[in-house]
Amino acid sequence: TSSGSGSITVAGVLTIDSGDSLNAGSKDWNLAGSGSPFVITGATFTASTSSFYFKGTSATSVPSTTYNHLIFNPSSGTVTYTLGSGTLNVNGDLTTVDLSTTVNIEANTNDPVVDINGDLTLDNGNWNASATAAMNVGGSFLNNLGGSFTHNNNTLTLDSSDAASITSASAFYNLTFNNSSGDWTLDSNITVERILTITAGTLDGSSRTITLSGTTGNPFVNGDTFTSSTSTVSYTGNNASGNTVV
């Protein structure tokens, strides 16, 4: 167990071997190595209230395990961080930090399930989503400052239990809101290329434009509450099989 606050820097590889365990405590863990700087082999890792910073400046593999806060923060260059197979749980926030670098998060190679309980913030970060595995964000979705989100024809589910906001210059494929306590507000225009679904919760369009380009015939499924405010909903898809439900 790592006790107390402060930080620990690992220049090479942090390894938890079979039969061992690591409780990360409340520390900031700075993993400066590239390649595979964090290796868990049949061991127990407990994130507690720690923050893990991946700072490698060349291609880096990131094990899919349970983190508290997960931050991608290279000091230079354009770096691709490839998420490992399995399930990536983030109890807090996942953030890419803009330090005049470009961070690429690759989730489509090993197709991990991604479950972020807090905010996903992409500052100069590019997220390449899995084409098959589920992705849930339990806080705000903030695609800022030149970041991008590549949906790969998959569904993003927002399941916040509180107030949250959405900012994204990148299009979504299927975008689903699903928590009866959730209250989402658009802080930018958004585009949904297939189906926008409010399963449970409230979506406030604010003063933004929602572009629905889906061709399914029913590109907006509202099962709970949509507050239009002064927003614009633009249906641009052409349903070749018939009419579009509005």
Summarize pLDDT for 177-194 with one digit per residue, the tens. 999 999 999 999 999 999
Task: Give yes or no for residue 98 having a pLDDT over 80.
Answer: no
Q: Which residue, 99, 79, 75, 192, is CA-closest to 141? A: 192
Overall average pLDDT of the 34-52 stretch: 96
- The confidence band for 161, taking pLDDT boundaries of 50, 70 and 90, is very high
Overall average pLDDT of the 34-54 stretch: 97
Q: Which residue, 124, 87, 129, is CA-closest to 107? A: 129
Whole-angstrom CA distances from 180 to 25, 174, 198 are 33, 19, 10
Q: What pLDDT is recorded for position 132?
A: 98
- The confidence band for 4, taking pLDDT boundaries of 50, 70 and 90, is low
Tell me the per-residue pLDDT of 197-213, one tens digit each, with 9 for 90 and over: 999 999 999 999 999 99
Overall average pLDDT of the 117-133 stretch: 96
Please give the Cα distance from 157 to 192 (Å, whole number). 13
Percent of the chain past pLDDT 90, that is, above it, reads 87
Overall average pLDDT of the 233-240 stretch: 90
Structure tokens at 230: 């002064």
Overall average pLDDT of the 144-167 stretch: 95
- The confidence band for 3, taking pLDDT boundaries of 50, 70 and 90, is low
Structure tokens at 36: 């595979």
Please give the Cα distance from 20 to 220 (Å, whole number). 50
Collapse the DSSP code of 152 into the 3-class scheme (helix H, G, I; strand E, B; otherwise coil) and give the result: coil
CB 114 within 8 A of CB 88: yes
The CA-based angle 154-231-152, given to 5 degrees, is 10
Overall average pLDDT of the 98-102 stretch: 82
As a 3-state breakdown, the chain gives helix, strand, coil percent values, each rounded to 5, of 0, 50, 50
Q: Which residues contact 73 (CB under 8 A, 6 or more apart)?
A: 53, 54, 55, 96, 97, 99
6 residue type, one letter = G
Q: What pLDDT is recorded for position 245?
A: 82
